[in-house]
């Protein structure tokens, strides 16, 4: 059928060249030397066509001298007069072509076949880093195959068949998105180097398709008949590609976030409710977070374009701050000194978030918008910790004022209540360091309560904890006065001192 269709089109083209109504002289020459079998005068009106209403505009019915002038207005149409009849019967060809495209997709995305193309050393300063740095070779191959099918179809139909093949293009692009989605994985664990490379290539490939698809659509709209132009659109496929890029970014963020599990476990293991050390150096978990971010940011920066890497950093900061605040709530009770230490840790983590992308990008500075975003997001965590470091803030109204909320909404009220629940009772009281009974539980007999808690500690911990507890015991003894205890590591008060 395609062979007969092509023969019909060749015949139509020959007639159109022979009877060029736009150039009567060319039409005359064509008739004199052509082999179409038509004969007549040198004018278009003298063609003697039996069915003018089929070939073009019907000849005007007129009598008298004006009849020849009416025939002069007749412009026969030869292109498509036969071949368009095939349009309703070319579904078999469309199915064949769709199968060919799907076979190309299967071959190009087969394991071990789809190659990563790109250049990590390319300098993309001129285009501000918008071009993908890496992508899969299957994407350019697939678009080349679709363009070939489009041009093949345009040789014999720009009507129904072209619109049908356009529907096949949509199906192929959707199937390709599904294949790329499978490469992302679950993101439930940190990705290794190969995993990061694969996800970054999915990111770059989706972006390449997202930018190339509108160009392909414009070409298709120029080729297809005007009756179908408004119906040719890839909006749904564009949305699929947009979601694919978001999912790839989310997978990278989850991978780095999962690498911080051990560090946050170490953070929660600290006894923040009984924290009494002097606030100075940062906590150990902060160093672990800084080391992990430096390690996992580098391959992401190497495989993503600048614009995509910045999008990744923004999403990671958002996820990190949200998790950090939740981890603070998981710490249980937090003393005033513990909150001060966490506030110091937060400042150092803020610096880490600002420096990690620069180090990973080999000195490439991040935009000011990113710095402002980090400061604003981490400022949320700092504000909450300032509530815990302020001994005067003990009611919901004061907390709401510090948080910049009136506390009227249910969400704000719940947040204030949750924050107040973090405050450790008897902040800074050494007698409660190891969960000893509170003084008021013994009817105000502070001396008996203190001695009882010390004895319990000695019975359970043994002499190996003597040195660790000496500071706490000494403070309790000073409260009780000189009771004659002569324990190692505890200095007796001077004999001349007055009892409190």
- Tens of pLDDT, residue by residue over 130-162, are 777 899 999 999 999 999 999 999 888 888 899
Q: Are residues 128 and 145 in the same domain?
A: yes
Show Cβ contacts of residue 50 under 8 Å, excluding neighbours closer than 6 positions: none
Q: Which CATH number does the domain housing residue 183 bear?
A: 1.10.357.50
Q: Are residues 310 and 221 in the same domain?
A: no
Q: Is there a domain that residue 459 lies in?
A: yes
Mean pLDDT, the chain, whole residue set = 76
**Model pLDDT, residue 443:** 39
Q: Is there a domain that residue 498 lies in?
A: no
Q: In whole angstroms, what is the distance from residue 256 CA to residue 353 CA? A: 13
**Model pLDDT, residue 201:** 95
> Which of 53-62, 202-211, 333-342 comes out lowest in average pLDDT?
53-62
- More confidently predicted of 164 and 386: 164
Q: Are residues 370 and 408 in the same domain?
A: yes
**Overall average pLDDT of the 66-70 stretch:** 49
**Model pLDDT, residue 433:** 33
- Tens of pLDDT, residue by residue over 341-369, are 999 999 999 999 999 999 998 888 899 99
Collapse the DSSP code of 429 into the 3-class scheme (helix H, G, I; strand E, B; otherwise coil) and give the result.
Answer: coil
Q: Are residues 110 and 233 in the same domain?
A: yes
- Tens of pLDDT, residue by residue over 204-263, are 999 999 999 999 999 999 999 999 999 999 999 999 999 999 999 999 999 999 999 999
Q: Is there a domain that residue 219 lies in?
A: yes
Q: Is there a domain that residue 33 lies in?
A: yes
Confidence of residue 274 (pLDDT cuts 50, 70, 90): confident
Confidence of residue 73 (pLDDT cuts 50, 70, 90): low
Q: Are residues 117 and 19 in the same domain?
A: no
Are the C-beta atoms of 115 and 136 separated by less than 8 Å? yes
Taken in order 16, 21, 22, 24, is the CA torsion positive or negative? Answer: positive
Tell me: pLDDT of 494 over 60: no
Q: In whole angstroms, what is the distance from residue 280 CA to residue 393 CA? A: 24
Q: Please, which contacts does 97-104 make with residues 24 or more away whose CB atoms are closer than 8 Å? A: 97/149, 97/152, 97/153, 97/165, 97/168, 98/165, 98/168, 98/171, 98/172, 100/145, 100/149, 101/142, 101/145, 101/146, 101/149, 101/168, 101/169, 101/172, 102/172, 102/175, 104/141, 104/142, 104/145
Q: In whole angstroms, what is the distance from residue 492 CA to residue 376 CA? A: 51
Q: Are residues 168 and 190 in the same domain?
A: yes
Tokens 């191959």 belong to residue: 141
pTM (2 decimals)? 0.71
Q: In whole angstroms, what is the distance from residue 112 CA to residue 312 CA? A: 28
**Model pLDDT, residue 351:** 95
**Model pLDDT, residue 141:** 94
Q: Are residues 269 and 387 in the same domain?
A: yes
- Considering 20-29, 38-47, 254-263, 436-445, the range whose residues carry the highest mean pLDDT is 254-263
Element (H, E) at 395: none
> Which of 100-109, 326-335, 380-389, 459-468 comes out lowest in average pLDDT?
459-468
**Model pLDDT, residue 181:** 95
The last residue of one of the domains, among 228, 255, 282, is 255
- Tens of pLDDT, residue by residue over 396-414, are 777 777 777 666 677 778 8
3-state secondary structure 182-237: HCCCCCCCCCCHHHHHHHHHHHHHHHHHHHHHHHHHHHHHHHCCCCCHHHCCCHHH
- Tens of pLDDT, residue by residue over 168-216, are 999 999 999 999 999 998 777 899 999 999 999 999 999 999 999 999 9
Q: Is there a domain that residue 489 lies in?
A: no
Q: Are residues 96 and 63 in the same domain?
A: no
Q: Are residues 128 and 214 in the same domain?
A: yes
What residue numbers bound the domain in which 192 lies? 90-255
Q: Is there a domain that residue 383 lies in?
A: yes
Q: In whole angstroms, what is the distance from residue 338 CA to residue 277 CA? A: 8
Q: How many domains does the chain have?
A: 4
Tell me: pLDDT of 376 over 80: yes
Q: Are residues 158 and 209 in the same domain?
A: yes
Q: Are residues 378 and 408 in the same domain?
A: yes
Collapse the DSSP code of 135 into the 3-class scheme (helix H, G, I; strand E, B; otherwise coil) and give the result.
Answer: strand
Q: Is there a domain that residue 486 lies in?
A: no
- Tens of pLDDT, residue by residue over 82-97, are 777 777 778 888 999 9
Q: Are residues 266 and 311 in the same domain?
A: yes
- More confidently predicted of 425 and 14: 14
Q: Is there a domain that residue 79 lies in?
A: no
> Which of 170-174, 314-318, 479-483 comes out lowest in average pLDDT?
479-483
Confidence of residue 481 (pLDDT cuts 50, 70, 90): very low
**Model pLDDT, residue 252:** 96
- Tens of pLDDT, residue by residue over 285-314, are 999 999 999 999 999 999 999 999 999 999
**Model pLDDT, residue 394:** 64
Percent of the chain with pLDDT over 70: 68
């Amino acid at each position: 059928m395609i062979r007969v269709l092509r023969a019909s089109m060749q015949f139509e083209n020959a007639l159109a060249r022979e009877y060029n109504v736009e150039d009567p002289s060319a039409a005359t020459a064509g008739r004199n030397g052509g082999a179409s079998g038509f004969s007549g005068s040198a004018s278009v009106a003298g063609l003697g066509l039996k069915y003018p209403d089929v070939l073009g505009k019907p000849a005007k019915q007129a009598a008298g001298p004006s009849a020849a002038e009416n025939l002069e207005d007749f412009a026969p149409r030869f292109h498509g007069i036969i071949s368009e009849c095939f349009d309703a019967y070319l579904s078999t060809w469309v199915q064949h072509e769709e199968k060919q495209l799907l076979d190309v997709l299967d071959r190009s995305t087969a394991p071990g076949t789809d190659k990563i193309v790109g250049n990590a050393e390319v300098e993309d300063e001129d285009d501000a880093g918008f071009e993908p740095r890496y992508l899969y070779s299957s994407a350019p191959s697939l678009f080349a195959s679709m363009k070939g099918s489009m041009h093949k179809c345009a040789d014999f139909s720009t009507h129904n068949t072209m619109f049908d093949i356009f529907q096949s293009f949509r199906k192929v692009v959707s199937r390709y998105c599904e294949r790329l989605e499978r490469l992302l994985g679950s993101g439930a664990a940190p990705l290794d180097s190969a995993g990061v490379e694969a996800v970054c290539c999915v990111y770059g490939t989706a972006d390449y398709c997202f930018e190339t698809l509108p160009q392909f659509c414009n070409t298709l709209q120029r080729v297809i008949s005007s009756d179908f132009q408004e119906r040719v659109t890839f909006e749904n496929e564009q949305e699929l590609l947009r979601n694919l890029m978001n999912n790839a970014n989310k997978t990278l963020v989850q991978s780095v976030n999962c690498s911080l599990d051990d560090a946050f476990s170490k953070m929660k293991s600290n006894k923040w409710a009984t924290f009494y050390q002097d606030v100075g150096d940062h906590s150990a978990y902060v160093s672990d977070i800084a080391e992990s971010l430096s390690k996992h940011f580098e391959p992401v920066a190497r495989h993503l374009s600048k614009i995509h890497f910045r999008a990744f950093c923004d999403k990671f900061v958002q996820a990190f701050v949200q998790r950090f605040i939740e981890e603070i709530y998981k710490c249980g009770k937090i003393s005033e000194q513990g909150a001060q230490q966490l506030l110091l840790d937060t400042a150092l983590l803020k610096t880490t978030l600002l420096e990690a992308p620069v180090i990973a990008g080999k000195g490439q500075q991040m935009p000011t918008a990113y710095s402002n975003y980090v400061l604003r997001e981490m400022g949320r965590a700092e504000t909450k910790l300032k509530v815990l470091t302020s001994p005067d803030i003990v009611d919901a109204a004061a907390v709401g004022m510090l948080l910049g909320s009136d506390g009227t909404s249910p969400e704000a009220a719940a947040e204030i209540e949750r924050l107040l629940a973090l405050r450790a009772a008897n902040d800074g009281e050494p007698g409660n360091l190891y969960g000893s009974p509170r003084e008021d539980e013994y009817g105000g007999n502070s001396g008996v309560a203190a001695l009882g808690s010390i004895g319990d500690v000695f019975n359970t911990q043994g002499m190996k904890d003597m040195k660790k507890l000496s500071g706490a015991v000494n403070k309790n003894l000073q409260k009780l006065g000189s009771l004659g205890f002569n324990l190692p590591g505890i200095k007796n008060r001077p004999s001349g001192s007055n009892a409190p």
